[in-house]
Amino acid sequence: MELKHLAIRELLKNADETQATISNRGGPVDIQAPMAQRLFDTLVSAYGRRAALTHGSFTVEDPDSHPFITNFRQFISGTPDDSDFLSLCDVAMEQLAASLSSESASAATGGYVIFCHYSADVFDYLLVALVRDKNGVAFDGNLHPTQVIELDLDKLHQAAKINISTYKEGTDSYLSFIGTKRKGDITHYFSTALGCSDVVPARQATSELIRATEDFCRKNQLQDKQEAIVDDVVGYLSKQRSEKQSAYLPDMDEIFAQHIPPEQAESGTETFGSFANSEEYQVSHEFQPHTSTINNYTKIKAKADNWQLDFSKRSLGELNSTSDIQFDPNTNSLIIRRLPTKVVDQLREALDD
């Protein structure tokens, strides 16, 4: 990762106050300083560990009324220099102070706002994070314990990360932001100030969740349980949709826990929630299931006197299509293609008998 710009500012507000103010302290930080790089690395790592990210984009409703969005567009329109970066930070601080002063954020407190402009792999990012300090213990020159104040970087209270590269490409989802882990309880003042909106299409979130389910099974040697796990995930999504409820990633972890042996779960280093919430899949902590996408994964079950069928709708297609199971309306018959070797052997053995 290459750090391009770094700035630290301070928002002042106690929980019993109604007005947030911007401190005169802080400003640009020399990115060549060793501690600047360490701060940046720790911050990005802490953000990457969060498994309750909401993915989305800037609000599409009158985006020009959001000063941060307007200034962000100006910031990325050319090759931003230090002055452009600090101007963007100033606008963000003004919006954060205004949002933090709203009635809905009355219980919220201020903190240190860290702005990072950096590149990783082939992407450019802007990360804005609110952190607070905590009391720590250190030794003085005589090895006597003394109190120090240190940043609590492991506990990001609010943060938003914008993928500048994908934003320029015009994709649907190019930002993520942190909310709380309790269902339906996301603190909005931070994301509102930056114009963030949870607008990842329900179709995309649903299909990516199922794709992540299949990939997670393959990654963790759960292929023999994959079909059952996908069925449970689809069943959960169907239930939430029928009850007009959101789907939640922590519920997915509970589904996987029913299928993963305890010894394998203890040795695992990643939960499904964090896997699906990652940059590759971008499934939000909370999202609305998409009906037609769910229907594509539901099963067709049929039974006669001496046979029964049980397969996913997405496996079915018309005659001469690429689907594994094809329906021939002329003969009212099914053609099953690409049979696994094990099934072929069973069929041949049955015929030999």
Please state, in angstroms and rounded to a whole number, the distance separating the CA atoms of residues 294 and 284.
Answer: 17
Res 181: pLDDT: 41
Spatial separation of the C-alpha atoms in residues 79 and 99, rounded to whole Å: 29
- The CB-based long-range contact list for 327-333 (8 Å cut-off, 24+ gap) reads none
Residue from 88, 43, 50, 83 nearest 67 by CA: 88
Q: Which of 293, 29, 1, 266 is nearest to 122 (CA)?
A: 1
Percent of the chain at pLDDT exceeding 70: 88
Q: Do 182 and 215 belong together in one domain?
A: no
Q: What is the pLDDT of residue 118?
A: 93
Q: Are residues 187 and 38 in the same domain?
A: yes
CA 6 to chain centre: 24
Place of tokens 């009850």: 243
Q: Which pLDDT value is given to residue 268?
A: 59
Q: Kindly report the average pLDDT of the chain as a whole number.
A: 82
Name the more confident of 145 and 10: 10
Q: Which of 197, 220, 253 is the last residue of a domain?
A: 197
Ramachandran angles phi, psi of 124, nearest 5°: -105, 140
Q: Are residues 29 and 149 in the same domain?
A: yes
Q: Which long-range contacts (CB under 8 A, 24 or more apart) does 73-77 make?
A: 76/124, 76/164, 76/167, 76/168
CB 172, CB 201: distance < 8 Å: yes
- Predicted local distance difference test score (pLDDT) of residue 56: 78
Total count of domains within the chain: 3
- With both helix axes pointing from N to C terminus, report the angle between 67-76 and 82-100 in degrees, rounded to the nearest 10: 170
Q: Tell whether 214 and 187 lie within a shared domain.
A: no
Are both 124 and 89 inside the same structural domain? Answer: yes
The H-assigned helical ranges of 56-108 are 67-76, 82-100
**Domain that residue 315 falls in:** 302-352
Is there a single domain that holds both residue 130 and residue 273? no
Q: Which of 197, 222, 246 is the last residue of a domain?
A: 197
150 confidence band (pLDDT: 50, 70, 90): low
187 lies in the same domain as 255: no
Judgement on whether residues 213 and 149 belong to the same structural domain of the protein:
no
pLDDT for the residue numbered 180: 47
Phi then psi dihedrals of residue 258, to 5 deg:
-75, -15
Cα angle 200-246-160, degrees, rounded to a multiple of 5: 45
pLDDT tens-digit map of 267-313: 556 788 888 888 788 887 777 788 888 887 777 778 888 888 888 77
Domain boundary among 180, 197, 214: 197
Q: What are phi and psi of 339, to 5 degrees?
A: -70, 140
Residue 328's H or E segment, with its range, is: strand 325-328
Tell me whether strands 316-318 and 325-328 are parallel, antiparallel or unpaired.
parallel
- Residue 149, pLDDT > 50, answer yes
Q: Residue 210 CA to chain centroid, in angstroms?
A: 15
Give yes or no: residues 252 and 134 share one domain: no
**pLDDT value of position 315:** 80
**Tens-place pLDDT, residues 85-133:** 999 999 999 998 888 888 777 777 888 899 999 998 888 999 998 888 7
| Residues 116 and 258 occupy one common structural domain | no
Residue 159's nearest CA partner among 48, 61, 58, 13 is: 48
Residue 254 pLDDT greater than 80, yes or no: yes
Q: Are residues 174 and 311 in the same domain?
A: no
Residues 156 and 9 in one domain: yes
- Residue 179, pLDDT above cutoff 70: no
